Amino acid sequence: MPCFHDVVIIGGGPAGCAVALSLLRSHPGASIVVFSDADPLRFKIGESLPPEAAQLLRYLDASLPSTLSTHLPCAGTASAWTSSSLEEHDALMNPFGHGWHLDRARFDETFRTAARSAGAKFSEARVTAIRRENDLWILESEADGSAVHSRWLVDASGRRASAARLLGLRTRKLDDLLAVHALFSSTSGTTEDRDTRTLIETCSQGWWYSALLPSKQRFVAFHCDAPSAKGAIRTRTGFLDFLHDQTNHLARIMGKHEYDFSAPDDGAPVGPQTTAACSSQLEGWQSQAYFVPVGDAALSFDPLSSQGMITALEMGCILGTELAANLIQLDGFSDERVIVERVTERYAEVWKHFEKSRKYYYSVQSRFDGDQFWASRRVNM
């Protein structure tokens, strides 16, 4: 027998759970199932949470802000962007306070626990097929062969946009930015790394990002165009050599605390990994009835903007509230096209703000104007 639900959400990360929590906050009787087939132990990029996010967490579940105490407070940002010297922005000067460097596995599981407690059901099965029949979405998965029927379908599966791809939709990329990243552990028995700032440093072929994690591991990522992410930099020795050749401040931290690649039993990959970090938009999703993408499945941002997590949470809150209004049939929200149009308008506003910010930050960096990476950023602006 098929299972009927008001809403099916593909993806059990912050975006999907924010939709579920926001919807159930406004409509506790709603029937929601979240398909979350991601490995909860696998390291996931997206370890920085801005201070403004605490308000959104409080809106979704009053207990969520207190769980941030298990993560590492971020002391601010240190950036060697417009010059070789560090420009520092202390969290004490932020009216919202400090942000956090997250244990993403723990953060995501806390979100899922809150959504379960609120009434959302979860499935670890992978959705294999999606079709629309008789004004309902029908989803098939690897679970037991039985189909799940729902009124609304939400794609919160991240950059892979798995639900959208099953529907034949594609994303439009603004660039080909990649992140070559790795986790490091200190081998120094005398100097403990206590620098909890977010560190950003430019070089001729791109820019570096680093953050200390609650595990005391240091996350390091080099952002570059696809051609620069080939060859030696994907090897352990090549990555370290490039880091020490191309950075000053980050190399100093890495040397001072004698960092080396984290061992596999620390939950880290063996060496450098490569992940898409480009800016992109899902196109044509408005043509699908009762379908909305959220988070990175809808809009993916250049990590320089620090916009991905906060936008996923904010849009999750907004979308959940509007879906609840549609299910309750409140005046002005009974037509699903109203929700699609409102979400589309909001995404356009977010993208416009992002592009303005992106253009500004890449334009003020002039030390490496003659290099291909930075020249291409000028062309794309």
On whether both 319 and 292 belong to a single domain, the answer is yes
Task: Identify the CATH number of the domain in which residue 114 sits.
Answer: 3.50.50.60
**Cα separation values, 9 from 69, 105, 170, Å:** 28, 19, 19
- Residue 86 inside a domain? The answer is no
- Residue 188 inside a domain? The answer is yes
Rounded Cα gap, residues 297 and 361, in angstroms:
24
- Residue 57 inside a domain? The answer is no
Rounded Cα gap, residues 217 and 193, in angstroms:
9
Rounded Cα gap, residues 193 and 328, in angstroms:
52
Closest C-alpha among 111, 49, 110, 108 to residue 74: 49
Contact 297, 156 (CB under 8 A): yes
Give the tokens for residue 65.
């802000």
On whether both 168 and 183 belong to a single domain, the answer is no
Give the tokens for residue 165.
């791809």
Sequence-distant (6+) residues with CB within 8 A of 27 are: 324, 327, 328
- Residue 88 inside a domain? The answer is no
Q: Which of 243, 276, 309 is the last residue of a domain?
A: 276
Q: Which of 238, 257, 276 is the last residue of a domain?
A: 276
- What is the 3 state secondary structure string of 28-79? CCCCEEEECCCCCCCCCCCCEECCCHHHHHHHHCCCHHHHHHHCEEECEEEE
Tally of CB atoms within 10 A around 248 = 13
Rounded Cα gap, residues 312 and 17, in angstroms:
10
Torsion sign, CA atoms 59, 62, 67, 72? positive
- Letter for the amino acid at 257? H
Contact 301, 307 (CB under 8 A): yes
Torsion sign, CA atoms 233, 40, 29, 313? negative
Q: Which of 226, 249, 276 is the last residue of a domain?
A: 276
Rounded Cα gap, residues 354 and 278, in angstroms:
13
Contact 239, 180 (CB under 8 A): yes
On whether both 183 and 328 belong to a single domain, the answer is no
Closest C-alpha among 158, 355, 104, 128 to residue 276: 158
On whether both 153 and 242 belong to a single domain, the answer is no
Rounded Cα gap, residues 373 and 360, in angstroms:
16
On whether both 192 and 298 belong to a single domain, the answer is no
- Give the structural domain span for 265: 177-276
On whether both 357 and 286 belong to a single domain, the answer is yes
Cross-strand pairs, 219: 183, 211
Rounded Cα gap, residues 280 and 298, in angstroms:
8
- Residue 42 inside a domain? The answer is yes
**One pLDDT digit (tens) per residue for the chain, 381 residues:** 568 999 999 999 999 999 999 999 999 999 999 999 877 777 788 889 999 999 999 999 999 999 999 999 999 999 999 999 999 999 878 888 899 999 999 999 999 999 999 999 999 999 999 999 999 999 998 876 678 999 999 999 999 999 999 999 999 999 999 999 999 999 987 889 999 999 999 999 999 999 999 999 999 999 999 888 888 899 999 999 999 999 999 999 999 999 999 987 655 557 899 999 999 999 999 999 999 999 999 999 999 998 999 999 999 999 999 999 999 987 667 788 999 999 999 999 999 999 999 999 998 988 887 788 998 887 555
Q: What is the pLDDT of residues 90-131, one digit of tens each?
A: 987 888 889 999 999 999 999 999 999 999 999 999 999 999
- Residue 75 inside a domain? The answer is no
On whether both 245 and 328 belong to a single domain, the answer is no
On whether both 271 and 229 belong to a single domain, the answer is yes
Q: pTM to 2 decimals?
A: 0.94
Rounded Cα gap, residues 290 and 73, in angstroms:
39
On whether both 25 and 134 belong to a single domain, the answer is yes
Task: Identify the CATH number of the domain in which residue 268 sits.
Answer: 3.30.9.100
**Total domain count, the chain:** 2
- Residue 113 inside a domain? The answer is yes
- Residue 337 inside a domain? The answer is yes
- Letter for the amino acid at 232? A
On whether both 188 and 270 belong to a single domain, the answer is yes
On whether both 204 and 351 belong to a single domain, the answer is no
On whether both 238 and 328 belong to a single domain, the answer is no
